[in-house]
């Protein structure tokens, strides 16, 4: 792996002074096994995998309170032992568990105990948006608590991971409290692009997750593969090259679960110019066209909601578009099965054909017929 070590590209993470590898290790999909009726991390294998990643030049590992059934932090702690000074380690505050001001320090201390570390380099407020900014973070003075934690040396930099409409990011950046942002960005979902540029201009570091669409592109999809027809690249490789060719991206986090996946990603991240300007423009044009096609089916506006039977109509159509527009059947099926976990709701099979949604759709989509098609294509006939 020595050749990767020489080649791995490092970038400054905003104004933090940290030099971060272009590829980060997301410890959310560690190898698991079923034991005693529950899922547990295969600890030895996971530690070996992360050590392999570090030896390949990856110097950033990210975990969170809840990853891998709550076991990820402890395993990451084991995997960084002896290498602490060479690595950037981050974890995330489960903001939804904060009910009062003191919960911040209680949770952070618990996380440091799990990690068996004296401090983390980056501490994220996990998955925040406009609502949690006001209803939890500002209400319970968590930014002051974070500053206290920073002074005590428990965290070096406060950051946030983001799950909301892009326009909500500006207010969070403008608090001036954050050193970096972690947000969703990939070939299929470029919604945060302008806000990432804003974050960068304000001196924040920008780390993106889901560079291969949370695994969505991790399946052969003819449309994606054919974006660079003259080169034999896999869809995940192309997806990662696309993300890393955005100059506002300091690091792409990838949730890796196998050595081969680490090796493949490291090879891509070691390239200084993952895509030429011409290739980028070509890809953008094709993806814009595909996105336009996807919107003809459903814009995701949500006016059809609520459905009396809690069907998550726009998410059903979004999953279907992965198949219909991008040709990613396995990815569409995988996406479909997660519908309803969050936000709560139900899949297309719960539709009773009552029809009350159709009058509310500005696109005049025949929602009932379309949902039946979604169920047939993604959910199996008998669901």
How is residue 92 written in tokens? 């995330």
Region class of 275: left (phi > 0), else alpha (psi between -120 and 50), else beta: beta
Decide whether 70 or 300 has the Cβ nearer to ligand SF4. 300
Instruction: With H, G, I as helix, E, B as strand and everything else as coil, classify residue 99.
Output: coil
**Closest CB to ligand SF4 among 229 and 308?**
308
d(CA 21, CA 305): 42
Please report, as ranges, the residues that interact with ligand SF4 according to CB under 6 A.
298-304, 307-309, 311, 313-314, 317, 351-357, 360-361, 363, 365, 367-368, 371
Residue among 203 and 306 whose Cβ is closer to ligand SF4? 306
Residue whose structure tokens are 């975990």: 63
What SS3 string covers 155-182?
Answer: EEEEEEEECCCCCHHHHHHCCCCCCEEE
Query: How crowded is residue 83: how many other Cβ atoms within 10 Å of its Cβ?
Result: 15
Report the nearest approach of ligand SF4 to the CB of residue 318 (Å).
9
- For ligand SF4, the closer CB: 138 or 301: 301
- Smallest distance from ligand SF4 to CB 377, Å: 16
Q: How many other CB atoms are there within 10 angstroms of residue 169's CB atom?
A: 23
Element containing residue 252 per DSSP (H, E): strand 251-255
Q: How far is the CB of 114 from ligand SF4 (least distance, A)?
A: 40
Give the residue with the Cβ less far from ligand SF4, 58 or 367: 367
Q: How far is the CB of 364 from ligand SF4 (least distance, A)?
A: 8
- Smallest gap from Cβ 193 to ligand SF4, in A, equals 22
- Between 278 and 364, CB nearer to ligand SF4: 364
Residue 271 neighbours by CB distance under 10 Å: 15
Helix (H) or strand (E) holding 262: helix 259-269
Minimum CB separation from ligand SF4 for residue 165, in Å?
14
């Amino acid at each position: 792996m020595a050749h990767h070590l020489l080649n791995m590209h490092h970038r400054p993470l905003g104004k933090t002074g940290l030099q971060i590898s272009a590829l980060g290790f997301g410890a959310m999909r560690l190898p698991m096994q079923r034991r005693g009726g529950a899922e547990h991390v295969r600890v030895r294998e996971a530690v070996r995998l992360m050590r392999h990643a570090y030896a390949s030049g990856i110097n950033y590992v990210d975990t969170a309170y809840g990853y891998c059934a709550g076991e990820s932090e402890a395993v990451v702690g084991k995997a960084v032992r002896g290498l602490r000074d060479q690595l950037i380690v981050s974890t995330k505050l489960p903001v939804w568990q904060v009910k009062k001001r003191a919960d911040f320090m209680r949770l952070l201390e618990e996380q440091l105990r799990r990690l068996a570390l004296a401090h983390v380099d980056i501490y994220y407020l996990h998955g925040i948006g406009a609502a949690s900014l006001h209803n939890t973070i500002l209400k319970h003075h968590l930014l002051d608590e974070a500053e206290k934690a920073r002074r005590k040396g428990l965290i070096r930099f406060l950051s946030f991971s983001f799950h909301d409409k892009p326009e909500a990011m500006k207010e969070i950046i403008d608090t001036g409290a954050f050193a970096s942002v972690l947000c969703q960005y990939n070939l299929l979902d470029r919604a945060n692009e302008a806000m990432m540029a804003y974050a960068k201009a304000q001196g924040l570091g920008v780390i993106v997750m889901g560079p291969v669409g949370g695994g969505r592109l991790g399946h052969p999809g003819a449309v994606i593969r054919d974006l660079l027809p003259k080169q034999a690249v896999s869809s995940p490789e192309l997806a990662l090259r696309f993300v890393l060719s955005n100059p506002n991206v300091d690091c792409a986090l990838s949730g890796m679960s196998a050595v081969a996946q680490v090796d493949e990603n490291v090879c891509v991240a070691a390239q200084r110019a993952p895509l030429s300007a011409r290739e980028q423009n070509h890809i953008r044009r094709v993806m814009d066209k595909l996105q336009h096609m996807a919107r003809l089916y459903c814009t995701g506006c949500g006016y059809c909601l609520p459905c009396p039977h809690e069907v998550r109509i726009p998410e059903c159509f979004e999953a279907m578009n992965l198949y219909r527009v991008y040709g990613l059947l396995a990815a569409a099926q995988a996406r479909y099965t997660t519908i309803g976990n969050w936000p709560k709701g139900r899949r297309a099979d719960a539709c009773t054909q009552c029809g009350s949604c159709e009058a509310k759709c500005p696109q005049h989509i025949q929602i009932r017929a379309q949902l039946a098609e979604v169920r047939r294509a993604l959910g199996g006939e008998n669901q």
